[in-house]
Amino acid sequence: MRLRIREYRKKKGDSQEDLAAALDTTQATISRYETGDQWPSPDVFDSLAEYFGCSVPNLIEHQMEDSQLVELMDCYYAMGSDSRGLLLDLARKFSVGSVQVG
């Protein structure tokens, strides 16, 4: 998965500094989001979606190989039940249309 923040920002004609100011963060943080070095919090995802006028799922490009899915599921089952619950809550927040999580 990768974020589409750069794509949306460029379509809007904004610089990283413009977006950083709108989100009350730094240009360096926006750069880390765009390069995938840092993943936004759920609240930041909501702010990004509002800023760009799109849904949160549209900010995420979903391209997962089968081996990545297996690795993801292995990690999921290795988590404690509390962590799995938190992860499922987050996944439900980002689920789209008829996709059901949990």
* CATH number of the domain that residue 44 is part of: 1.10.260.40
Read off the pTM.
0.61
Average pLDDT, consecutive stretches of 10 residues, N- to C-terminus, the chain (102 residues): 88 97 97 91 91 88 67 82 84 54 37
- Residues 34 and 77 grouped into a single domain: no
Residues 41 and 83 in one domain: no
What pLDDT, on the 0 to 100 scale, is given for residue 47? 95
Q: And the tokens for 80?
A: 């404690």
Residues 39 and 68 in one domain: no
Cα angle 77-63-82, degrees, rounded to a multiple of 5: 25
Q: The domain containing residue 37 runs over which residues?
A: 2-61
Verify that 46 and 81 share a domain, yes or no: no
Say what the pLDDT of residue 59 is.
87
Do 10 and 19 form a contact (C-beta atoms < 8 A)?
Answer: no
d(CA 32, CA 38): 5
